[in-house]
């Protein structure tokens, strides 16, 4: 079920109505458990069995970890994580590895007898598997008591607002909430509506309109001019943010309507002035998961500098692979890993405190912002391009254009900027306003308006406006595929 | 510039913070009032304002403009052609008008056809036509001998929602599936039992909802005065990549030796009957006659359907076709066919000439047969 469709609207209204009518959590949790499975089964009911198996594995591992002597705990934790990663690996990476082996053999002039399998990737598998791992490891680390109720654990792992596209919720953030009594709190509920309305505008209006502009460009890359390719890449830079941040906001909003708090997943990432800062603002729940369950176990930064950089690159590589079984995602992760290492090296060399002082310098800030966002922008290209050849084609086209521009400049002839018609306003304006104004805390403090009626009106207009403006062709959330 | 409206809404959501008096009652009341105003406002918005860029809208406006500029159109017979791609690519309305004049019939021809337009989309075009015409011209239309000419095509006639599944969620589909048409589609699909998918009804409901709320002008972020130019006749050239003319011609010639195959379908289908009852409700008072026409085709199954339809069409209507064997033999040249159904530009001239000849031959019958509430007995 997609959040921006009519079935979801009906589903949400029914769930909210029944949920708040039920007298206590004793009834609400089983109801939510069933609602979660209905939500997931709407896409393909066969995969509800998979979700249930993942819940059973996590539940069984948690219970075992509490009951067995400590010497058996590590093998149990490792066994459960291997099993969960095995499920993820089978559904998500089997064909990728088979295809890669095929390709490698082909390059060497050989052939293999077997082919790839017909495997359907279950929606949101990466999200709920990572949450299950988070639960098992947290119980193993004794930072959380194993959940006694299968229903409660099931509600946590299959909670429909974040089931298929995150945010990835760490067990200690959510499970304790299931033990507290939920009381209806109107301001909290209305704040949920506000977040949902904002997310709806991000996704249904900004991201989907951008998708309509850029998809034909990437589908027929060879027929595009250099400016259109640039516009398409800039459009994707905005689309992926509005799509994913919009979905996250809607998920957080829906959770709030049910009385639960989900942590922020995006904090104006395009305001970041360093790659380190960017990863503190972009897909925060994934960054934290990778930090807690991959980077720190690898040794984190409490080791030699080369080892530390290796850890960063490995983490980002695997982070890239988490996004999808494709060399393009690996390249994207690898590029971010290298850029993060350079960022860390710069901080070490320039002495971070001095850098803090420099940050107050406007030129430094603008330069750092341009450099950071330039890297982020360029890294999105392999992320979006369907094939390696497309990525190289884009860079090659720009290289040719730039060299032509330079040679014209060197020959003292004015370069001709032949910019074709393109919806630049649609590509630039939402990003600019969101990043420069919405993301500016000082501006918000200075111009904020205290009015309950104003807020209610804004929510109403945003929801109705979202409906009026939403792009009519249903566009899936980009992060569903991950 | 329309993009600044949602941007302003996003700014409002970030910059307005609640004071202490925030209550759920206030939010529900605001939402209720907002929704009520929207629903009422939407009822009174003319379709031309809502979907100014729709292909259907552009076509209708083009044809209405042509009609209103035609000399003394109120005093001459008016032929309204409605069809799918077969008519769109096969019949040139303006040429048909001239060919009829050469045969002594002074009539005005307007054409409402689009590639892939199923019956309900054509109904939508006719509804738009009446809306665009205005009250005064509608009365004139009722006084003139107006003849509605409807294309006969098996795929569309058997499934009132033909191509809906393929075209779902496109702007064009959302435009024609307004709540009333969605209701009709639901009824027609139920009696025809074509769509058995459980999601089918959801989809219809969703399209009606999107139609009502995703007002096209905003959903496409296009300014109000945006207008695409559309040529009412779009001739095809060359041939379809997947079309094997030689093989099709051989099969067709072979079929001439034996009578048309019996076809395993009810003619007319239950959905089709419902549709023409609805069409009568909409246009019965304005149109004098209803004429069905079956255009030339090389596809044997379609031709068999045309023959069967000729036997079963309601007696309160006239049927033109199927084309005779002599005429089909004349058409059997590769350069005339884009595929088994659609002609190229040269083929279209022959198609149009055939239709003009058929109309001229049956003219007195067409005028004499008055369209009444459909009776299929």
Q: Region A243-258: what's the mean pLDDT?
A: 93
pLDDT recorded at residue B224 = 44
**Least Cα separation, residue B99 to chain A (angstroms):** 42
A257 vs B: CB within 8 A: no
Query: Which residue, A117, A152, A183, sits at the end of a domain?
Result: A183
Pairing of strands B108-113, B78-83: parallel
Catalytic residue check, A323: yes
**Residue A1 belongs to some domain of the structure:** no
Is the pLDDT assigned to residue A156 strictly greater than 60?
Answer: yes
Tally of domains within chain A: 2
Mark whether A208 and A114 lie in a shared domain.
no
Mark whether A77 and A150 lie in a shared domain.
yes
Q: Which of A118-122, A124-128, A150-154 has the highest mean pLDDT?
A: A150-154
State the DSSP H helix or E strand holding residue A449, giving kind and residue range, or none if neither. strand A449-450
* Confidence bin at B165 (pLDDT 50/70/90): confident
Contact A454 B16 (CB under 8 A): yes
Encode pLDDT of B69-116 as tens digits: 888 888 889 999 999 999 999 999 999 999 999 999 999 999 999 888
- Residues in chain A within 8 Å Cβ distance of B177: none
pLDDT recorded at residue A195 = 94
**Least Cα separation, residue B316 to chain A (angstroms):** 41
**Least Cα separation, residue B176 to chain A (angstroms):** 13
* Confidence bin at B194 (pLDDT 50/70/90): low
* Confidence bin at B275 (pLDDT 50/70/90): confident
Of A201, A450, A459, the CB nearest to B27: A459
Q: What is the dihedral of CA A82, A88, A91, A95, to 10 degrees?
A: -80
Mark whether A288 and A335 lie in a shared domain.
yes
Q: Region A66-89: what's the mean pLDDT?
A: 88
Query: Which residue, A183, A209, A232, sits at the end of a domain?
Result: A183
pLDDT recorded at residue A303 = 82
Radius of gyration of chain A from its Cα atoms, rounded to whole angstroms: 24
Encode pLDDT of A158-190 as tens digits: 998 988 777 888 888 888 898 888 888 888 999
Encode pLDDT of A316-326 as tens digits: 988 888 887 77
Q: Higher confidence at residue A418 or residue B151?
A: B151
Residue B236 DSSP symbol: B
- Residues in chain B within 8 Å Cβ distance of A5: 206
**Residue A217 belongs to some domain of the structure:** yes
- Residues in chain A within 8 Å Cβ distance of B51: none
Mean pLDDT, all residues of chain A: 86
**Residue A310 belongs to some domain of the structure:** yes
Q: What is the DSSP string of B126-163?
A: HHHHHHHHHHHHHHHHHHS-EEEEEE--HHHHH-TTTT
Distance CA A334, CA A338 (A): 6
The closest of B322, B314, B309, B318 to B290, measured between CA atoms, is B318
pLDDT recorded at residue A457 = 92
Of B169, B174, B213, the CB nearest to A467: B213
pLDDT recorded at residue B78 = 92
Contact A433 B10 (CB under 8 A): yes
Mark whether A237 and A157 lie in a shared domain.
no
Pairing of strands B16-17, A449-450: parallel
**By residue range, what is the domain housing residue A348?**
188-481
Closest alpha carbon within chain B to A436: B11
* Confidence bin at A378 (pLDDT 50/70/90): very high
* Confidence bin at A116 (pLDDT 50/70/90): low
Q: Region A396-414: what's the mean pLDDT?
A: 81
Contact B19 A452 (CB under 8 A): yes
Residue A251 contacts residue A162 (beta carbons within 8 Å): yes
Secondary structure tally for chain A: helices H, strands E:
21, 1
pLDDT recorded at residue B193 = 62
Contact B17 A461 (CB under 8 A): no
* Confidence bin at A474 (pLDDT 50/70/90): low
A 416-445 residues with CB < 8 A to B = 425-426, 429-430, 433-434, 437-438, 444
* Confidence bin at B29 (pLDDT 50/70/90): very high
E strands in chain B: 16-17, 78-83, 108-113, 146-151, 289-293, 318-320
A183 vs B: CB within 8 A: no
* Confidence bin at B376 (pLDDT 50/70/90): very low
Encode pLDDT of A456-469 as tens digits: 999 999 999 888 88
Encode pLDDT of A13-48 as tens digits: 999 999 999 988 888 999 999 999 999 888 778 888
Distance CA A453, CA B28 (A): 11
Mark whether A218 and A124 lie in a shared domain.
no
Distance CA B103, CA A154 (A): 78
pLDDT recorded at residue B124 = 92
What are the phi and psi torsion angles at B302 (to 5°)?
-65, -40
**Residue A134 belongs to some domain of the structure:** yes
Encode pLDDT of B342-356 as tens digits: 999 999 999 999 999
Angle between helices B55-69 and B119-143 (to 10 degrees): 20
Contact A430 B3 (CB under 8 A): yes
Mark whether A103 and A203 lie in a shared domain.
no
Is the pLDDT assigned to residue A125 strictly greater than 90?
Answer: no
Mark whether A172 and A195 lie in a shared domain.
no
Q: What is the DSSP string of A152-191?
A: HHHHHHH-GGGTTT-PPPPHHHHHHHHHSPP---HHHHHH
Mark whether A285 and A414 lie in a shared domain.
yes
pLDDT recorded at residue B226 = 43
Mark whether A370 and A392 lie in a shared domain.
yes
Encode pLDDT of A352-371 as tens digits: 666 666 666 788 888 889 99
The closest of A330, A300, A294 to A168, measured between CA atoms, is A294
**Residue A234 belongs to some domain of the structure:** yes
Contact A468 B221 (CB under 8 A): no
SS (H, E, C) B335-352: HHECCCCCEEHHHHHHHH
**What share of chain B in percent tops pLDDT 70?**
90
Helix, coil or strand: residue B313: coil
ipTM value of the model?
A: 0.84
Q: Break chain B into its structural domains and give their ranges.
A: 50-368
Mark whether A295 and A147 lie in a shared domain.
no
Is the pLDDT assigned to residue A214 strictly greater than 70?
Answer: yes
Is the pLDDT assigned to residue B285 strictly greater than 90?
Answer: no
**Least Cα separation, residue B15 to chain A (angstroms):** 5
A 40-59 residues with CB < 8 A to B = none
Q: How far is CA A147 from CA A138, A294, A440, B253, in A?
A: 11, 24, 41, 76
Distance CA A210, CA A245 (A): 14
Helix, coil or strand: residue A342: helix
* Confidence bin at A2 (pLDDT 50/70/90): confident
Encode pLDDT of A261-302 as tens digits: 999 999 999 999 889 999 999 999 989 988 988 888 888 778
Mark whether A386 and A306 lie in a shared domain.
yes
Q: What is the DSSP string of B191-220?
A: HHT----THHHHHHHHHHHHHHHS-HHHHT
- Residues in chain B within 8 Å Cβ distance of A449: 15-17
- Which position among A170, A209, A283, A323 bears the catalytic label? A323
Is the pLDDT assigned to residue A249 strictly greater than 80?
Answer: yes
Q: Higher confidence at residue B62 or residue A357?
A: B62
* CATH number among 3.40.50.1110, 3.30.70.520, 3.40.47.10, 1.10.10.10, domain B50-368: 3.40.50.1110
- Cα four-point dihedral sign A361, A362, A366, A372: positive
Mark whether A451 and A378 lie in a shared domain.
yes
Residue A131 contacts residue A288 (beta carbons within 8 Å): no
Q: How far is CA B267 from CA A78, A272, B166, B272, B305, in A?
A: 67, 67, 25, 9, 9
- Residues in chain A within 8 Å Cβ distance of B170: 472-473
A209 vs B: CB within 8 A: yes
Closest alpha carbon within chain B to A187: B22
């Amino acid at each position: 079920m997609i959040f921006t469709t009519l079935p979801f609207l009906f589903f949400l209204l029914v769930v909210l109505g029944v949920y708040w009518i039920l007298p206590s959590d004793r009834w609400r949790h089983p109801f939510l458990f069933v609602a979660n499975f209905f939500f997931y089964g709407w896409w393909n009911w066969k995969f509800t069995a998979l979700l249930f198996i993942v819940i059973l594995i996590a539940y069984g591992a948690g219970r075992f970890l509490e009951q067995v002597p400590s010497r058996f705990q590590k093998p149990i934790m490792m066994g459960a994580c291997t099993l969960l990663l095995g499920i993820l690996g089978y559904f998500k990476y089997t064909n990728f590895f088979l295809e890669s082996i095929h390709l490698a053999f082909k390059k060497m002039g050989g052939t293999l007898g077997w082919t790839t399998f017909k495997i359907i990737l279950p929606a949101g598998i990466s999200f709920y598997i990572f949450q299950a791992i988070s639960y098992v490891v947290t119980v193993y680390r004794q930072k959380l008591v194993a959940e006694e109720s299968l229903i409660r654990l099931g509600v946590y792992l299959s909670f429909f607002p974040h089931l298929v596209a995150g945010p990835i919720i760490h067990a200690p953030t959510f499970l304790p909430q299931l033990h507290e009594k939920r009381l209806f709190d109107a301001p909290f509920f209305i704040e949920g509506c506000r977040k949902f309305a904002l997310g709806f505008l991000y996704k249904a209006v900004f991201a989907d309109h951008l998708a309509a502009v850029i998809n034909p460009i990437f589908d027929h890359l060879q027929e595009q001019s250099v400016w259109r390719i640039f516009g398409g890449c800039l459009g994707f830079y905005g689309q992926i943010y509005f799509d994913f941040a919009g979905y996250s906001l809607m998920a957080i909003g829906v959770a709030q309507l049910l009385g639960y708090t989900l942590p922020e997943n995006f904090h104006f990432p395009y305001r970041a002035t360093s790659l380190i800062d960017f990863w503190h603002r972009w897909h925060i729940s994934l960054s934290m998961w990778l930090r807690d369950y991959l980077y720190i176990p690898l040794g984190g930064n409490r080791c030699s500098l080369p080892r530390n950089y290796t850890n960063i690159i490995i983490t980002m590589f695997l982070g890239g692979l988490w996004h999808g079984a494709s060399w393009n995602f690996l390249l994207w992760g690898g590029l971010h890993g290298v850029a993060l290492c350079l960022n860390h090296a710069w901080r070490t060399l320039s002495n971070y405190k001095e850098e803090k002082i420099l940050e107050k310098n406007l030129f430094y800030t603008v330069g750092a912002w341009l450099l950071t966002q330039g890297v982020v922008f360029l890294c999105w290209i392999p992320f979006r391009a369907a094939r390696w050849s497309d990525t190289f084609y884009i860079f090659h086209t720009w290289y040719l254009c730039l060299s032509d521009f330079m040679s014209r400049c060197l020959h003292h002839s004015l370069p001709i900027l032949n910019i074709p018609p393109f919806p630049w306003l649609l590509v630039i304006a939402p990003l600019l306003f969101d990043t420069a104004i919405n993301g500016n805390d000082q501006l918000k403090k200075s111009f904020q308006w205290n009015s309950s009626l104003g807020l209610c009106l804004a929510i109403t207009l945003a929801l109705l406006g979202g409906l009026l403006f939403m792009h009519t062709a249903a566009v899936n959330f980009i992060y569903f595929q991950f | 510039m329309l993009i600044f409206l949602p941007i302003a809404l996003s700014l409002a959501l970030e910059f307005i913070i609640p004071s202490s008096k925030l209550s759920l009652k206030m939010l529900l009341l605001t939402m209720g009032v907002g929704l009520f105003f929207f629903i009422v406002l939407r009822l009174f918005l003319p379709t031309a304002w809502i979907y100014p860029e729709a292909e259907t809208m552009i076509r209708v406006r083009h044809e209405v403009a042509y009609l209103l500029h035609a000399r003394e159109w109120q005093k001459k017979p008016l032929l309204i052609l409605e069809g799918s791609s077969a008519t769109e690519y096969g019949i040139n309305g303006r040429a048909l008008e001239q060919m009829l004049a050469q045969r002594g019939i002074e009539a005005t021809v307007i054409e409402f056809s689009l590639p892939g337009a199923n019956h309900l989309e054509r109904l939508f075009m006719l509804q738009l036509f009446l809306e665009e015409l205005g009250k005064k011209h509608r009365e004139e239309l009722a006084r003139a001998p107006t003849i509605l000419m409807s294309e006969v095509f098996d795929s569309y006639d058997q499934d009132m929602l033909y191509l809906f599944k393929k075209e779902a969620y496109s702007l064009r589909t959302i435009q024609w599936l307004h709540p009333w048409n969605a209701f009709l589609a639901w009824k027609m699909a139920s009696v025809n039992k074509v769509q058995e998918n459980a999601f089918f009804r959801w989809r219809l409901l969703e399209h009606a909802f999107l139609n009502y709320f995703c007002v096209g002008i905003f959903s496409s972020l296009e300014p109000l005065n945006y207008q695409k130019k559309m040529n009412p006749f779009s001739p095809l050239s060359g041939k379809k990549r997947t079309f094997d003319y030689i093989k099709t011609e051989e099969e067709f010639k072979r079929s001439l030796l034996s009578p048309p195959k019996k076809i395993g379908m009810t003619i007319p289908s239950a959905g089709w009957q419902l549709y023409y009852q609805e069409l009568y409700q909409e246009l019965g008072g304005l149109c004098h006659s209803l004429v069905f026409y079956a255009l030339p085709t090389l596809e044997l199954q379609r031709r068999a359907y045309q023959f069967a339809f000729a036997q079963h069409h309601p007696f309160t209507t006239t049927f033109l076709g199927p084309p005779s064997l002599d005429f089909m033999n004349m058409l059997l040249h590769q350069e005339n066919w884009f595929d088994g159904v659609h002609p190229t530009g040269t083929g279209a001239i022959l198609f149009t000439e055939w239709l003009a000849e058929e109309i001229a031959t049956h003219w007195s019958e067409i005028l004499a047969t008055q369209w009444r509430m459909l009776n299929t007995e």
